[in-house]
A and B are shown apart, each in its own frame.
Chain A
Amino acid sequence: MSAAAPRSSSSWRRDNELPFQKLDEETIVLDPRRREVHLLNETAARIWELLASPRSLDELSATLGDEYDVPEAELQEAVAECVDGLTQKGLLIPVGKAPQADPRGAAR
């Protein structure tokens, strides 16, 4: 799974119409249209919880960095990979494109 894909968007939110419920540390998410059942582990469940409202990867990483004792680069990679996976499963929705780099320079 590529960790680069989600960086094409600036922030994500969860699909708030999908049914879900916590069961111990895990979260069950149902997708009736696709006839799919997803069981999110503790970290994915926490990301799902945080994405009740839109957040960027940096915001997610900063919040999770306060909660988990993991090196920053490793955490960012893990968050990006998790967001990518959940997005591909249709559970997360990109809500904004990252601003394109201005070829004429940032000074303008």
Chain B
Amino acid sequence: MAAPERSVAGGLPEAAPRCQDEMVVGTEANYELISQLQGKAAARFLPFNVTLELTLNCNIRCLHCYNLDRDEPRHGACGSGSGANADAHKPELTLPEILQLLSDLRDAGCLILGLTGGEVLTYPHLFAVLDRARELNLAVQLLTNGTMLQPGIAARLAAYRNLLGVSISLYGATADVHDGITQIAGSFRRTWEGAQRLRAAGVAVRLKFIVMRPNAHQMAEMLAQATTRDFPYMVDVTITPRHDGTRGSLAMRVTEDQLADLYRGPLRDLLPTGTRPMTEDQFSCNCARGNCAISVTGDVQPCVSVPWAAGNVRERPFIDIWRYSPVFQKIRGLRIADYEACAPCPDKSYCSRNRGAAFNHSGSYTGTDPFVCTTAAITREVVTSATTK
């Protein structure tokens, strides 16, 4: 199995996992082993990968942000909680609560801790969290926009020997397009500088390209920039409704015509062949089995993109939520037949079944999002037309 140094979500190649939470930065060379270990942990319901949202604060104002509409006033000083079920006035976890939570995660079987935001580098206690993760022998991956990776920060991060790597998001091949999406002038330059600076300091860096209506025409150039500079990358075409319930982000989704052009063009080589048998194992992802996420207010969720609270760590120990919550028990018991629209769908082998999009669109974990269905149909059309010529 080849290491997926390039992949596209929303049409994942066979070599890549179905869930982006399982694409651990810095382990690409050992992808097969890590994937096996993730599968083993998931089969035993051990929370091997946990993503922790440290803050909803962000220094850029992306039009496609899945957390919240950053052009609208927010409740409280530090965010509103990210779950659809979250109380908008719930306070964020305190540093002592987070430090205790890390110990609980370690005891429950966690090895890989993803730290995200908001922008994780705006979190004032980030280095205290990293110190604790190091003490607990947890491996860490950071998800960031890269704009705050000044020389001192990059050097400080590089000193953590438990830092697996950093995923940095990019939204264009030129400053006008990228900065137009982030609504912050200079962010394109600072993101690239941050990525290069961090890699020069010895940290594994992977770029994450989010394909949107304003940048679709630059996708070939974006991939070329990553290749020229020798950065691994992944591509995501799925923009979801926001966790605050607003849907303005959807205006950023690529059109069907753009998607078809991308899949026939620059993203063609990243598409699945559709030959993978759609078994129960292939259809399910590791969320709630070997992965989960914890929101800024302490809600334990199946993954960071599915704000379906299984419980809150302030009210119940993490291990109890992980083992016994009805939400996680339900997800663990799902079979393909329970996904009513997906079960009979002929496009299953070409579909990412992006659960975040499905959940945020339909309100149901087993629901669908027409965009995801369209993506799968376009993928099948492109792949099968090429193979029958």
State the A residues within 8 Å of B (CB): 16-24, 28, 30, 32-33, 35-37, 39
Given contacts A18-B162, A19-B111, A35-B26, contact A28 B37 (CB under 8 A): yes
From the candidates B27, B37, B138, name the one contacting A23 in the complex (CB within 8 A): B37
A21–B26 CB distance below 8 A: no
Return chain A residues, CB-CB under 8 Å to B44. 23-24
The smallest beta-carbon distance between B294 and chain A, in angstroms, is 18
Q: Are B29 and A28 in contact (CB under 8 A)?
A: no
Given contacts A28-B111, A30-B111, contact A35 B30 (CB under 8 A): yes
Interface: B199 (CB within 8 A): no
Cβ-defined partner of B139 (8 Å) among A16, A24, A30: A30
Residues of A within 8 A of B26 (CB): 32, 35
Neighbour of B204 across the interface among A16, A18, A22, A32, CB < 8 A: A32
A to B CB contacts below 8 Å, 25 in the list: A17-B137, A17-B161, A17-B162, A18-B137, A18-B161, A18-B162, A19-B140, A21-B137, A22-B109, A23-B37, A23-B41, A23-B44, A23-B48, A24-B40, A24-B44, A28-B37, A30-B27, A32-B139, A32-B161, A32-B162, A33-B202, A35-B27, A37-B27, A37-B33, A39-B33
Q: Number of residue pairs across A and B with beta carbons under 8 Å?
A: 64
Q: With A23-B37, A23-B46, A37-B33 in contact, do A32 and B111 touch (Cβ < 8 Å)?
A: no
B contact residues around A21 at 8 Å (CB): 48, 106, 109-111, 137
A33 contacts B30, CB within 8 Å? no
Q: Which of B48, B110, B164 contacts A32 (CB 8 A)?
A: B164
Shortest distance from the beta carbon of A6 to any chain B beta carbon, whole Å: 23
Complex contacts, A22 vs chain B, CB 8 Å: 109
B204 close to A19 (CB less than 8 A): no
In the assembled complex, the Cα of A15 lies from the Cα of B311 at a distance in Å of 36
Q: Which residues of A contact B162 (CB under 8 A)?
A: 17-19, 30, 32
Given A16-B137, A18-B162, A32-B161, are A23 and B204 neighbors across the interface (CB < 8 Å)? Answer: no
* Closest chain B residue, CB of each to CB of A17: B161
Would A17 and B30 count as touching, CB distance under 8 A? no
B241 at the interface (CB under 8 A from A): no
Q: How far is B139's CA from A21's CA once the two chains are assembled, in angstroms?
A: 10
A19-B202 in contact given A32-B164, A37-B30 (Cβ < 8 Å): no
